[in-house]
Amino acid sequence: MDNIRVVYYEEPDFESPILVEGLPGVGNVGKLAAEHLVEQIKAVKFADIYSKFFPPQVLLDDEGVIRLVSNSLYYSKGEGKRPDIIFLTGDYQGLTPEGQYELSDFVLNLAKEWKVNLIFTLGGYGIGKMIEKPRVLGAATDSQLVEEMKGKGVVFSKGEPGSGIVGASGLLLGMGKIEGVKAVCLMGETSGYFVDPKGAEAVLRVLASILSVEIDFKELESKAEQIDLITSKLKEIETPQEPKREDLGYIG
Amino acid sequence: MDNIRVVYYEEPDFESPILVEGLPGVGNVGKLAAEHLVEQIKAVKFADIYSKFFPPQVLLDDEGVIRLVSNSLYYSKGEGKRPDIIFLTGDYQGLTPEGQYELSDFVLNLAKEWKVNLIFTLGGYGIGKMIEKPRVLGAATDSQLVEEMKGKGVVFSKGEPGSGIVGASGLLLGMGKIEGVKAVCLMGETSGYFVDPKGAEAVLRVLASILSVEIDFKELESKAEQIDLITSKLKEIETPQEPKREDLGYIG
Amino acid sequence: MDNIRVVYYEEPDFESPILVEGLPGVGNVGKLAAEHLVEQIKAVKFADIYSKFFPPQVLLDDEGVIRLVSNSLYYSKGEGKRPDIIFLTGDYQGLTPEGQYELSDFVLNLAKEWKVNLIFTLGGYGIGKMIEKPRVLGAATDSQLVEEMKGKGVVFSKGEPGSGIVGASGLLLGMGKIEGVKAVCLMGETSGYFVDPKGAEAVLRVLASILSVEIDFKELESKAEQIDLITSKLKEIETPQEPKREDLGYIG
Amino acid sequence: MDNIRVVYYEEPDFESPILVEGLPGVGNVGKLAAEHLVEQIKAVKFADIYSKFFPPQVLLDDEGVIRLVSNSLYYSKGEGKRPDIIFLTGDYQGLTPEGQYELSDFVLNLAKEWKVNLIFTLGGYGIGKMIEKPRVLGAATDSQLVEEMKGKGVVFSKGEPGSGIVGASGLLLGMGKIEGVKAVCLMGETSGYFVDPKGAEAVLRVLASILSVEIDFKELESKAEQIDLITSKLKEIETPQEPKREDLGYIG
């Protein structure tokens, strides 16, 4: 069998599209952001990607009907200043380094076929503590893109992230650069302890401005409030008069 | 060498056969159920599947004669309302995600050759505690099958199993759906701590009714009684007047 | 690069040769036995097998000259009742299940080219405690071989080893059986805690009688005495008047 | 996609060049040494090697521009007694045994194309304790090379390193020997607890003399002094009047 298999439901034409990747990762920031944008601009699924680099697993819907774990491709045709946008999101990233490389190579080949103009990869930047106003850090395939992104409020901070970027959000840039495909990574700050809608919102506000998209953030904000509620409850438990070692267990 | 190799002892013809998969897994429910059904309807082995995705191991019979670990295929020709049935059971599932995908793809290709009408995959649903009357939960490749199965006493419960289905019992559905092969997964509730003949019996009672097979459950019931005996003894040890933390160690 | 590569120093002709495998394993029994026999009958190395399934490692001789880790093939032409014998021994077994299968498949293909009459695989049977007179347990590809081996003092004991045989000593039998190559596994009982020359001697005494080879066991016996000395010293330390938990650490 | 991919920026001609490998490893001795030599003789990068055997990761420069992790090739044309030198250094070694073999095989094929005269692999020899004057241990593909290296102050000590040499520094010798390529491994003694510029300096002093290169060691010496400062501070913390078990934790 093939390592990777795409099933197309439609094969749309694109004009200099933008590719936005948001797969599971730190705080699930990238996936949350990409999925919220897909919903907001009513992007349409046109393909599913299956691979033996994903876990051997099916997921169930509420009825009991299964689907194989996958990555999915959505598109939204441009309007006015808003360009054609293609989205890559999904259940998992590749399980092994080889799988990561093969999957990113596969996506890059599609991107070249579609004559993608620019790739945005979305992710979280785990800082190990709760944060009120997450910054959006950036990385790019060339210094001109760095300058452009600075103008959009993206923070480029020497030594952050110090260990580079691991996974699809990094590889699409790294392999893209070799192939001559321009790409930017936007990383929302996040504690990394929870699924983090606040980090996703920060990333989306920057991306929305770049792509000339109007986004309603209510849903993300309400998710963020729920998380805040949970974490503040946890804080209360954590700081009784006589703190105990066990109370910190949830961080582990 | 090939990743997967089949040795045929016979190449029977089938008429719209049903494929029943029962490989090792949670509580060994699927394997127990499939093997009991193979014995009850005197199904005949017609092929062995060997693979480098299985452990590098041989097993010994009582005499000292070895055989390489394998999966095996059995068949039973239909009679009256009972359809032709093919069984897939064996010593192991694939050791890696890639192995899992390759083996399920291999079986699905055989299923398409044989024009298999419907696949049943049998497994256990681990709930982490002992259970008196295990339910049989279901999952299926489409909603019509879900409805049919509900009519047979299969339980479809929103959010169960929450993490989906991992391994061959899931993949044959997930990959089958893509290939246009209909499939149902039947999961017997089980603690997951022991090999569980009670879960296997629950699954088989549902399957027997669907396939119009008469099954004698004495052997499974006697196995279940032995397990009950062991667990009740363990309970006694576990609940002395002054319970100690160490007594729970067997769960670990 | 090829997964497996052989470098031949000589390509001898064989007449219905016997293949003897002794690679590292439990108590290193198989490797010790095969290497001792190679020395005793002055077998000649005729090939080295290299593979990416072995660790990426070189070993140094006393001078500082390196060699890549390998398996090696030796031969000894027959004389009188003693048949032609080919030996497979080496530094490592394959690191992964796939590597194990590929390497055994490779050796079996050579065995078929050489028209090998019978394969003996040598190994240890770990029983978790020190043993004075190790038995030699057996396993074989067919029941006639089992009977022949019983006549040579090999023990076939129902349920031993209960978990089958893992690694090259098992696979050469398991895959050999499928390919129509006859094979026997001889397992010397061993604690499994130490390199065990006593287990190796037991295995060799049986094999020597089968192959009509005269063997001087002095060297193995002297190695065994050294190990006995060490273990009896450890016993002294282990059983002082007030035993401490730490004293048992060497078993771990 | 290919397992390994080279991007050339230049394809220089070489005359009987020397290949020097210094990749990450124990104490990072080999990488430090090779990179210092690259800087000192102003060697020029002529190619980058990318591979799915490396981690799926990009690194950022101070500006925020990324590059995919890689190994890199540099060269310096000879002058007077100094030969043409090619350097292999980089971010990572292959992650798996297979990756290690494939990458070393790839480099050896390049070495044969370039008609490399001799390979030097540089590494650290971890001895588990701080050391004032690190020796430089050696290993080679033949005994004549051993003798030559002894004349240059390289130490060949029976039984060191007892476990052989693992990784690229070993494989280039082991696979080189099979291919008829001469090679020497130089190992600087190092505690193995820290990045060790002192071990790198020891290795470089030997290599510089062999290659007739003049090297300024100031930078390495100043790095070594910084490490010394840190370790002496740690020592102070470690040896208070009443030492506690926890203080040793940093050794890990």
Q: What is the 3-state secondary structure (H, E, C) of chain A?
A: CCCEEEEECCCCCCCCCEEEEECCCHHHHHHHHHHHHHHHCCCEEEEEEEECCCCCEEEECCCCEEEECCEEEEEECCECCECCEEEEEECCCCCCHHHHHHHHHHHHHHHHHCCCCEEEEEEEEECCCCCCCCCEEEEECCHHHHHHHHCCCCECCCCCCCCCEECHHHHHHHHHHHHCCCEEEEEEEECCCCCCHHHHHHHHHHHHHHHCCCCCCHHHHHHHHHHHHHHHHHHHHHCCCCCCHHHHHHHC
The Cα A213–Cα C100 span in angstroms is 55
Band the pLDDT of A77: cuts 50, 70, 90.
very high
Interface test with D, best of A26, A171, A187 (most D CBs within 10 A): A171
A71 bridge partner residues: A49, A90
Tokens 């503040």 belong to which residue? A232
pLDDT over 70 at D240, yes or no = no
pLDDT over 70 at C176, yes or no = yes
The structural domain count of chain C equals: 1
B85 bridge partner residues: B18, B76
CATH code, domain carrying C187? 3.40.50.10900
Q: Average pLDDT, stretch A178-196?
A: 95
CA-wise closest residue to B34 among B120, B150, B142, B149: B120
Q: Average pLDDT, stretch A72-88?
A: 97
Band the pLDDT of D243: cuts 50, 70, 90.
very low
Chain C within 8 Å of D38 (Cβ-Cβ)? Answer: no
Q: Which of B5, B56, B64 sits opposite C146 (nearest CB)?
A: B64
Count how many pairs of residues, chain A against chain B, have C-beta atoms within 8 Å: 82
Band the pLDDT of B53: cuts 50, 70, 90.
very high
Band the pLDDT of A232: cuts 50, 70, 90.
confident
pLDDT, residue A192, reads 87
The DSSP symbol for D251 reads G
Whether A97 and D53 lie within 8 Å, measured CB to CB:
yes
The per-residue pLDDT for range C80-129, each reduced to its tens digit, is 999 999 999 999 999 999 999 999 999 999 999 999 999 999 999 999 99
The per-residue pLDDT for range B195-211, each reduced to its tens digit, is 999 999 999 999 999 99
pLDDT, residue D232, reads 82
Please give the structure tokens belonging to residue D150.
């002894």
Q: Average pLDDT, stretch D193-216?
A: 94
pLDDT over 50 at D245, yes or no = no
Q: Average pLDDT, stretch C56-74?
A: 98
CB neighbourhood size of A159 (10 A): 7
Q: Which of D140, D167, D185 sits opposite C56 (nearest CB)?
A: D167
Task: Report if residue D137 sits inside a domain.
Answer: yes
* C185 phi/psi in degrees, rounded to 5: -110, 130
Nearest-neighbour CA in chain A from D132: distance (Å): 31
Task: Report if residue A47 sits inside a domain.
Answer: yes
**Residue B95: which residues within 8 A CB-CB, separation 6 or more?**
B53, B54, B55, C97
pLDDT, residue A233, reads 83
Mean pLDDT of chain B: 92
Report the number of secondary-structure helices (H) and strands (E) in chain B. Answer: 6, 11
Our CA angle for C145, C147, C151, nearest 5°, is: 110
pLDDT, residue D252, reads 30
The per-residue pLDDT for range B4-26, each reduced to its tens digit, is 999 999 999 999 999 999 999 99
Task: Report if residue C242 sits inside a domain.
Answer: no
Nearest-Cα residue of chain A relative to residue D54: A97
Under DSSP, is residue C43 helix (H, G, I), strand (E, B) or coil? coil
With beta carbons under 8 A apart, name residues in chain A contacting B185: 66
Q: Average pLDDT, stretch B224-230?
A: 86
The DSSP symbol for D83 reads P
Whether D104 and C56 lie within 8 Å, measured CB to CB:
yes
Task: Report if residue B229 sits inside a domain.
Answer: no
| CB contact at 8 A, B6 and B47 | yes
Whether A56 and B101 lie within 8 Å, measured CB to CB:
yes
Kindly report which listed range (C176-185, C241-250, D3-12) carries the lowest average pLDDT score.
C241-250
Whether A97 and D56 lie within 8 Å, measured CB to CB:
yes
pLDDT over 90 at A72, yes or no = yes
- Strands (E) located in chain D: 4-8, 18-22, 44-51, 57-60, 66-68, 71-76, 85-90, 118-126, 136-140, 165-166, 183-190
As a 3-state breakdown, chain B gives helix, strand, coil percent values, each rounded to 5, of: 40, 25, 35
The Cα D65–Cα D83 span in angstroms is 35
Band the pLDDT of B252: cuts 50, 70, 90.
very low
Band the pLDDT of B239: cuts 50, 70, 90.
low
pLDDT, residue C250, reads 30
pTM of the model: 0.92
Band the pLDDT of D122: cuts 50, 70, 90.
very high
* A24 phi/psi in degrees, rounded to 5: -55, 145
CB neighbourhood size of A13 (10 A): 9
Task: Report if residue D243 sits inside a domain.
Answer: no
| CB contact at 8 A, B22 and B70 | no
The Cα D57–Cα A177 span in angstroms is 13
Specify the higher pLDDT residue, C244 or D175.
Answer: D175
Interface test with B, best of C98, C158, C172, C182 (most B CBs within 10 A): C98
Q: Average pLDDT, stretch B108-133?
A: 95
The Cα D68–Cα D71 span in angstroms is 10
Nearest-Cα residue of chain C relative to residue B8: C178
Task: Report if residue D89 sits inside a domain.
Answer: yes
Band the pLDDT of D236: cuts 50, 70, 90.
confident
Whether A57 and B166 lie within 8 Å, measured CB to CB:
yes
Chain C within 8 Å of B62 (Cβ-Cβ)? Answer: yes
Task: Report if residue D222 sits inside a domain.
Answer: no
Nearest-neighbour CA in chain A from D194: distance (Å): 18
How large is the ipTM?
A: 0.91
Whether B57 and C166 lie within 8 Å, measured CB to CB:
yes
Under DSSP, is residue C126 helix (H, G, I), strand (E, B) or coil? strand
Task: Report if residue A229 sits inside a domain.
Answer: no
Whether B68 and C177 lie within 8 Å, measured CB to CB:
yes
pLDDT, residue D239, reads 60
What percent of chain D lies above the pLDDT cut of 90? 83
Helices (H), D41-126: 97-113
pLDDT over 60 at A248, yes or no = no
| Cα D21 to the center of its chain, rounded Å | 5
H or E element, residue C18: strand C18-22
pLDDT, residue B224, reads 87
pLDDT over 70 at C34, yes or no = yes
Kindly report which listed range (A94-103, B218-227, D26-35, D162-171) carries the lowest average pLDDT score.
B218-227
Pairing of strands B118-126, B183-190: parallel
pLDDT, residue D244, reads 43
The per-residue pLDDT for range A7-60, each reduced to its tens digit, is 999 999 999 999 999 999 999 999 999 999 999 999 999 999 999 999 999 999
Chains that touch D (3 or more CB pairs under 8 A): A, C
Band the pLDDT of C237: cuts 50, 70, 90.
confident
Please give the structure tokens belonging to residue B210.
């669907």
Q: What part of B 79-98 touches A (C-beta under 8 Å)?
A: 94, 97-98
Under DSSP, is residue C83 helix (H, G, I), strand (E, B) or coil? coil
Specify the higher pLDDT residue, A141 or D229.
Answer: A141
With beta carbons under 8 A apart, name residues in chain B contacting C177: 66-68
With beta carbons under 8 A apart, name residues in chain B contacting C170: 56-58, 66
Chain B within 8 Å of C100 (Cβ-Cβ)? Answer: yes
Q: Which of A102, A141, A166 sits opposite D55 (nearest CB)?
A: A166
pLDDT, residue B68, reads 98
Band the pLDDT of A227: cuts 50, 70, 90.
confident
Band the pLDDT of A238: cuts 50, 70, 90.
low
Domain extent at residue B69: 4-217
Q: Average pLDDT, stretch D76-81?
A: 95
Band the pLDDT of B130: cuts 50, 70, 90.
confident
Whether C146 and B66 lie within 8 Å, measured CB to CB:
no
